[in-house]
Chains A and B, each alone.
Chain A
Amino acid sequence: MQPHDDKNLDEQIEENLRKVYQKTLEEDIPDRFLDLLDQLKQQDAQK
């Protein structure tokens, strides 16, 4: 077993976490959500 640098490992965890998260953040918002929001707005307008 190699001794570990806990600080490095914590940073590695956070970097990985951000990478995982970032991939979704950078994706375009799927049309289904934009359509959904439009529909909800139209429903409100009809009230």
Chain B
Amino acid sequence: MSSNDAADLDPRDEIVTHLPAMRAFALSLTRNPSQADDLVQDAVIKAWKNLGSFQVGTNMRAWLFTILRNTFYSDRRKAKREVQDSDGSFAATLSRKPDHDGRLALADFEVAFAKLNDEQREALVLVGASGFSYEEAAVTCGVAVGTIKSRVNRARQRLTELMELSDSEALELTDQETMAVVTAGLPVRGSAA
């Protein structure tokens, strides 16, 4: 997996390579682009100050995600307030690049995704989108592997329920049509890690 090159790289120079992933993870936590970047900035500063505790050669992305995540939760405990309209802001970032195949389903997905609780959302993002193994996600979140697995499963179930619900409520497309639109444009994933 990690080569000697990665181990030889100064951790200070490696951080920049993880910034895109940190921003994506932060966005999934905050669901608000400007808050996400503030969170990334705080996390980068913390990481820099604590670079001494990073073991060179280990998974820096998981280490950075842990810092980012801890920062997010401790900020929120301090602030003690939920951000309203974060769903709207997040949805706005998504409509920037509309893709004709599955666009409706994606918007639908966004609404459902925003309704997951934090634990489910981050578990799903870590495992489903950022390519973490269950083990890496467990370390990042500081919980057992089984806990991550069950959070991912519950998140999927919940999304499924929410998306079915919205189909029957407000969407113009029927579920079958939505599925057809979405699956038509998708490559088959054979080797997702």
Taking beta carbons and an 8 Å cutoff, which residues of A are in contact with B? 1-2, 4-6, 8-21, 23-27, 29-30, 32-34, 36-37, 40-41, 44
In the complex, A5 Cα to B33 Cα: how many Å? 34
The residue that B113 contacts in the complex, of A20, A29, A33, with Cβ under 8 A, is A20
The residue that B128 contacts in the complex, of A14, A23, A29, A40, with Cβ under 8 A, is A14
In the complex, A34 Cα to B96 Cα: how many Å? 24
Q: Chain B, 147-160, contact with A by CB distance < 8 Å: what is the 0/1 string?
A: 00000000010011
Point out the residues of chain B lying under 8 angstroms from A23, CB to CB: 93-94, 96-97
Which stretch (B1-9, B41-49, B58-66) binds chain A?
Answer: B41-49
Point out the residues of chain B lying under 8 angstroms from A44, CB to CB: 12
Point out the residues of chain A lying under 8 angstroms from B186, CB to CB: 11, 15
Q: Chain B, 93-132, contact with A by CB distance < 8 Å: what is the 0/1 string?
A: 1101101001001100110010000000000110011100
User: Known interface pairs A1-B168, A2-B176, A36-B44. Does A25 touch B159 (Cβ–Cβ under 8 Å)?
Assistant: no
Asked if B129 and A4 make an inter-chain contact with CB atoms under 8 angstroms apart, the answer reads: no
In the complex, A23 Cα to B94 Cα: how many Å? 8
Q: Which residue of A lies closest to B185 (CB)?
A: A15
In the complex, A33 Cα to B124 Cα: how many Å? 26
The residue that A20 contacts in the complex, of B129, B160, B189, with Cβ under 8 A, is B129
Asked if B125 and A17 make an inter-chain contact with CB atoms under 8 angstroms apart, the answer reads: yes
Asked if A25 and B176 make an inter-chain contact with CB atoms under 8 angstroms apart, the answer reads: no
A-B contact pairs, 28 of them (CB 8 A): A2-B174, A2-B176, A9-B160, A9-B163, A10-B156, A11-B183, A12-B105, A12-B109, A13-B109, A13-B160, A16-B102, A17-B124, A17-B128, A18-B129, A19-B99, A19-B102, A21-B28, A21-B125, A23-B96, A24-B20, A25-B24, A27-B20, A33-B37, A33-B44, A37-B16, A40-B12, A40-B45, A44-B12
